[in-house]
Amino acid sequence: MEKKVVFIINPKAGVKKKMDIPAFIKEHFSSEINYDIIIWKNKDDFKNIQQQILEGKYTIAVAVGGDGTVNQIAQTVNHTDIALGILPFGSGNGLARSIGVPMDTKGALDLIAKGKTKKIDSGLINEVPFFCTSGVGFDAHIGTLFASNTKRGLKSYIKINWNEFFSYKAQDYKLIVDGKEENVNAFLIAFANAGQYGNNFYIAPQATMNDGIIDISVLKPFGLPSAIGLLRKILARKANLSKHIQSFSGKEIKLIRNEAGPFHFDGEPGITGAEIVVKVVPNSLNVISNS
């Protein structure tokens, strides 16, 4: 089938770089490939965009924005023959980094034009799809605060983390992985399809996106003196070797906590009940990758 691409641009994307994204695409994307550009102007009008993507006979749908935009477009093309492409403009760009998308816009455009299509797994957390990571605990708490914050970007995210770190209390959870039960006290629990949150912050470096399992990282309570060593291991892709992290893996996970509360899916915040079910969906999403 002849390649046909649609770029879905989050209008907030590119603010950091002061870039006219449609003009950049027109200047730098291959003139030999048929493509359209859709501006996602109204956050509440995504159904119309979904319809255009699914009915436009496209072979690639490109999410132009951050992790939230990527998740929405990925959900749209999940379980279809349409491949997901990414032009990364987010704070973390977790899925983009995990599938080898260049962080420079020209490089990402070249990948969309020349890159290969491959299948990856996806996950469901209480039936909400995620493609990189999801979880509960401190990171979900931070995600909720960050979403309501007027300032975006990595600096703002780090500031919120620092402000909340000393007051956040670990919680008790019952974790049931493929029928095996474990009681844990955790600062956070990450469910990883890919190994990182974003910014190469690898919470589950052992995770692989096409192995049919979800990797689980349980971060136990830790003091400030341990934080630097823990951070070094995370950045060195050795978090699973830390004494503060307990690792599991499985196809179906049930998590029971004391009450309803926040969770996140690819960094996007939500609220769900005390009981959470996480599942893997093998080979559900086509992505444009350099591997």
pLDDT digits (tens, 9 = 90+) for 209-244: 999 999 999 999 998 889 999 999 999 999 999 999
pLDDT digits (tens, 9 = 90+) for 140-164: 998 888 777 767 666 777 888 888 8
Tell me whether residue 117 is in a domain.
Answer: yes
Residues in the chain: 291
- Residue 172 and residue 78 share a domain: no
Q: Whole-prediction pTM value?
A: 0.92
Per-residue confidence band for 115, with pLDDT thresholds at 50, 70 and 90: confident
Residue 12: strand, helix, or coil: coil
- Using the 3D structure, point to which of 57, 92, 121 is the last residue of a domain: 121
Where do the DSSP E strands lie in the chain? 4-9, 34-39, 60-65, 83-88, 116-125, 128-130, 133-137, 171-177, 180-186, 188-192, 214-219, 245-250, 252-256, 261-265, 268-272, 275-289
CATH number of the domain encompassing residue 191: 2.60.200.40
Residue 160 vs residues 152, 155, 164: alpha-carbon distances, Å: 11, 9, 6
**Kind of pairing between the strands at 34-39 and 83-88:** unpaired
- Residue 271 and residue 134 share a domain: yes
- Residue 102 and residue 30 share a domain: yes
User: Whose CA is closest to 253, among 185, 169, 193?
Assistant: 193
User: Whose CA is closest to 16, among 81, 105, 100?
Assistant: 105
Residue 257 sits at the vertex; the CA angle it makes with 223 and 273, to the nearest 5 degrees, is 125
Segment 49-65 shows an average pLDDT of 96
Least confident of 50-64, 144-158, 245-259: 144-158
Number of domains in the chain: 2
- Residue 255 and residue 112 share a domain: no
- Residue 114 and residue 44 share a domain: yes
pLDDT digits (tens, 9 = 90+) for 160-206: 888 888 889 999 999 999 999 999 999 999 999 999 999 899 999 99
- CA–CA dist 211, 204 (Å, integer): 14
CB 232 within 8 A of CB 239: no
pLDDT at 13: 65
Tell me whether residue 290 is in a domain.
Answer: no
CB 268 within 8 A of CB 68: yes
- Residue 277 and residue 163 share a domain: yes
pLDDT digits (tens, 9 = 90+) for 9-54: 988 765 455 688 999 999 999 999 999 999 988 777 889 999 999 9
pLDDT at 162: 82
Mean pLDDT across the chain: 93
- Using the 3D structure, point to which of 121, 143, 173 is the last residue of a domain: 121
CATH number of the domain encompassing residue 12: 3.40.50.10330
Q: Which residues touch 83 (CB under 8 Å, ≥6 apart)? A: 59, 60, 61, 77, 117, 286, 287, 288
- Residue 40 and residue 145 share a domain: no
Residue 64: strand, helix, or coil: strand
pLDDT at 173: 98
CB 143 within 8 A of CB 104: no
pLDDT at 57: 96
- Residue 132 and residue 117 share a domain: no
Helix, strand, coil distribution of the chain in percent, nearest 5: 30, 35, 35
**DSSP codes joined into one string, 261-273:** EEEEETTEEEEE-
Residue 241: strand, helix, or coil: helix
CB 15 within 8 A of CB 44: no
Tell me whether residue 154 is in a domain.
Answer: yes
- Using the 3D structure, point to which of 101, 121, 141 is the last residue of a domain: 121
- Residue 106 and residue 189 share a domain: no
Segment 51-60 shows an average pLDDT of 97
Segment 53-81 shows an average pLDDT of 96
Range of the domain at 16: 4-121
Tell me whether residue 219 is in a domain.
Answer: yes
